[in-house]
Amino acid sequence: MSDITIYHNPRCSKSRQTLDLLKEEGLDPVVIDYQKTPPAAEELDRICTMLDKGPLEVTRTQEKLFKELGLSKQDERSRAEWLRLLTENPKLIERPIVVNGDRAAIGRPPENVRAIL
């Protein structure tokens, strides 16, 4: 079993490129299609902590859904509220996210994940 997990969207080119990079490195990551199986709020909070980012910083604010939900970067929501919004609307989670043990990286660009391998 791999210690490396990729929160993956197979429709996203950066996510596919990041998965390919991991495989080229000889790794066999656990692949989670996070839109079908979103992380629980607690797991997403742990990932944000590993990334040293708040939930808003891992939110796709340019996504149409962000605006449809009436969200704004200036919203004064608690961390727990942002985490709940992301788990209920996984399309808003930045992608891909790779977790290796207690470290994480966003694969934008895909080469970013090399820092945690």
Q: Is the pLDDT of residue 1 over 60?
A: no
What residue ranges in 30-102 does DSSP mark as E strands? 30-33, 97-100
Q: In the prediction, which pLDDT does 10 show?
A: 96
Q: Where does the pLDDT of residue 2 fall: very low under 50, low under 70, confident under 90, or very high at 90 and above?
A: low
Q: In the prediction, which pLDDT does 89 show?
A: 98
pTM above 0.85, yes or no: yes
CB environment 59-69: b (16+ within 10 A), e (fewer): beeebeebeee
CB atoms within 10 A of CB 52: 8
- Fold of domain 4-116: Glutaredoxin (3.40.30)
pLDDT in tens, 37-91: 999 999 999 999 999 999 999 999 999 999 999 999 999 999 999 999 999 999 9
Q: Is the pLDDT of residue 19 over 90?
A: yes
Residue (of 49, 70, 52) closest to 61 by Cα position: 70
Tokens of 25: 């490195």
Active site residues: 12
- What is the C-alpha separation between 37 and 57, in angstroms, rounded? 21
